[in-house]
């Protein structure tokens, strides 16, 4: 038993320490994902060690300290995504009279044919904007029936699991489809006009993940996230960035995205909202994200029922305050800025390449 617990501690330490290595291979970066599962495993190992080892013997203590250290380290990453942590985004007050925007984000899974389930959710929740990922021409044909209520759209149907569609009740201005890092992986950028005439920049992303079947490293994903972050970091107008980022909320890359962009994560202090994998409850983590500038407060955040995809749809409603308000966030240090710059340079992409719909509007007015 003691030998088995020693081996379990050493394996746990390896799985915990490997992601600290800034090596971008998929088999290293993949260990960023199951921090919740590793924390549970560490808790079980620590419990077994307390029950079945003789702690009066000093040679048993290193084993317990290793497992406990791993548990504490994993909790450091995931506790912010629980109600135990201070909320990063303020809740909308009950007497709010400012305009709000609801976005439904759904990775539909290309081969999935249960379009009616998604359409039913749209009819039920009536979001202002529907964003679909992995949507191809078949999905476009099904979703076009929403055009009567959602008269504005940007469509990029692809059969490579990176198609993307935006259907909006709100007018969309200065729209663009871009392929920022990879030729077959699009992003959509636009200005959405709220009911009071205010305009906000919206950016929808779906970078390819590091995996043995797609990109062998995270270089492409990281560069797309960080070039997006760098392009909005000094923007004074309201900004929303959303999509399936193929990265977990608690990874170093997503944390770096938050630092560089200055955008806020409404899940901090509220919950994990694990959106993937819909079919395997024991292997779930938050892959679908929405970050926003401090111009917004949070009215509602919800994981919606399954539509037959491997992702759950996500619904969020933000209320626009009309001005930037002090809210908790995290700031980059010099090492963060240099790391982000190195990752962008490795893929020969720069923030100036990202479509800035609000800048285009200002240029036209001037």
Residue 149 has pLDDT above 80, yes or no: yes
Q: Is residue 94 part of a domain?
A: no
User: E strand or H helix at 153, and its extent?
Assistant: strand 152-156
**Rounded-to-integer distance, Cα 249 and Cα 230, Å:** 18
Query: What pLDDT is stored for residue 360 in this prediction?
Result: 63
The residue with tokens 């636009």 is 190
Under 8 Å between Cβ of 279 and 362: no
Q: Answer positive or negative: Cα dihedral of 220, 302, 295, 259.
A: negative
CATH of the domain at 173: 3.60.10.10
Residue 356 has pLDDT above 90, yes or no: yes
Residue that finishes a domain, picked among 81, 110, 126: 81
CA atoms within 13 A on the CB side of 179: 8
Instruction: Residue count of the chain, please give it.
Output: 366
Query: What pLDDT is stored for residue 3 in this prediction?
Result: 81
35-45, pLDDT tens digit by residue?
Answer: 999 999 999 99
Tokens representing residue 55 in the block: 């702690």
Percent of the chain with pLDDT over 70: 98
114-148, pLDDT tens digit by residue?
Answer: 999 999 999 999 999 999 999 999 999 999 999 99
* Same-domain status, 324 and 230: yes
* Same-domain status, 70 and 113: no
Q: What is the mean pLDDT of residues 16-24?
A: 91
Q: Is residue 91 part of a domain?
A: no
Query: What pLDDT is stored for residue 362 in this prediction?
Result: 52
Output helix, strand, coil percentages for the chain, rounded to the nearest 5. Answer: 40, 20, 40
45-71, pLDDT tens digit by residue?
Answer: 999 998 888 777 877 888 899 999 999
Under 8 Å between Cβ of 285 and 248: yes
The domain total for the chain is 2
* Same-domain status, 104 and 77: no
Residues linked to residue 182 through DSSP beta bridges, in sequence order? none
Q: Is residue 338 part of a domain?
A: yes
Whole domain around residue 45: which residue ranges?
A: 2-81
Nearest to 289 by CA among 329, 244, 347, 341: 244
Query: What pLDDT is stored for residue 361 in this prediction?
Result: 55
Query: What pLDDT is stored for residue 293 in this prediction?
Result: 96
Tokens representing residue 2 in the block: 């003691």
187-243, pLDDT tens digit by residue?
Answer: 999 999 999 999 999 999 999 999 998 899 999 999 999 999 999 998 889 999 999
Query: What pLDDT is stored for residue 136 in this prediction?
Result: 98
Nearest to 82 by CA among 249, 316, 272: 272
Q: How far is CA 3 from each of CA 49, 50, 60, 62, 186, rounded to the nearest angstrom?
A: 11, 14, 10, 13, 51
Residue that finishes a domain, picked among 81, 112, 141: 81
Contacts of range 340-346, beta carbons closer than 8 Å, 24 or more positions apart = 340/226, 340/229, 340/230, 340/256, 340/260, 343/219, 343/222, 343/223, 343/226, 344/223, 344/226, 344/227, 344/230, 346/219, 346/223
Query: What pLDDT is stored for residue 61 in this prediction?
Result: 85
* Same-domain status, 104 and 75: no
Q: What is the mean pLDDT of residues 292-316?
A: 97
What is the average pLDDT value for the chain, to the nearest integer?
Answer: 93
Query: What pLDDT is stored for residue 366 in this prediction?
Result: 44
Tokens representing residue 11 in the block: 């394996």
């Amino acid at each position: 038993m003691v030998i088995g617990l020693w081996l379990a501690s050493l394996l746990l330490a390896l799985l915990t320490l490997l992601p600290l290595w800034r090596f971008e291979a998929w088999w290293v970066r993949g260990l960023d994902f199951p921090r919740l599962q590793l924390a549970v495993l560490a808790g079980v190992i620590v419990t077994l060690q307390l029950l079945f080892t003789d702690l009066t013997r000093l040679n048993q203590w290193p084993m317990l300290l290793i497992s406990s250290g791993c548990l504490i380290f994993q909790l450091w990453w995931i506790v912010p995504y629980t109600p135990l942590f201070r909320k990063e985004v303020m809740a909308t007050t009950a007497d709010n009279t400012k305009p709000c925007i609801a976005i439904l984000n759904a990775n539909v899974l290309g081969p999935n044919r249960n379009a009616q389930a998604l359409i039913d959710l749209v009819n039920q929740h009536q979001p202002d904007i529907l964003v679909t990922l992995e949507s191809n021409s078949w999905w476009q044909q099904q979703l076009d029936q929403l055009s009567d209520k959602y008269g504005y759209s940007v469509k990029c149907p692809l059969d490579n699991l990176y198609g993307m569609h935006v259907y909006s009740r709100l007018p969309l201005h200065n729209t663009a489809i871009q392929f920022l890092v990879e030729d077959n992986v699009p992003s959509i950028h636009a200005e959405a006009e709220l009911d009071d005439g205010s305009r906000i920049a919206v950016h929808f992303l779906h970078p390819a993940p590091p995996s043995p079947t797609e990109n062998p490293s995270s270089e492409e994903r990281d560069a797309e996230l960080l070039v997006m972050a760098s392009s909005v970091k000094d923007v004074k107008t309201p900004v929303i960035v959303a999509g399936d980022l193929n990265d977990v909320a608690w990874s170093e890359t997503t944390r770096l995205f938050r630092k560089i962009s200055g955008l806020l994560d409404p899940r901090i202090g509220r919950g994990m909202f694990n959106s993937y994998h819909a079919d395997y409850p024991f292997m779930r983590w938050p892959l679908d994200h929405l970050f926003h500038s401090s111009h917004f407060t949070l009215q509602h955040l919800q994981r919606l029922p399954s539509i037959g995809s491997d992702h759950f749809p996500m619904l969020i409603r933000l209320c626009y305050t009309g001005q930037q308000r002090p809210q908790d966030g995290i700031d980059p240090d010099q090492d963060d800025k240099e790391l982000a710059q190195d990752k962008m340079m490795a893929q020969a992409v720069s923030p100036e390449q990202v479509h800035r719909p609000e800048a285009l509007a200002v240029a036209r007015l001037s």
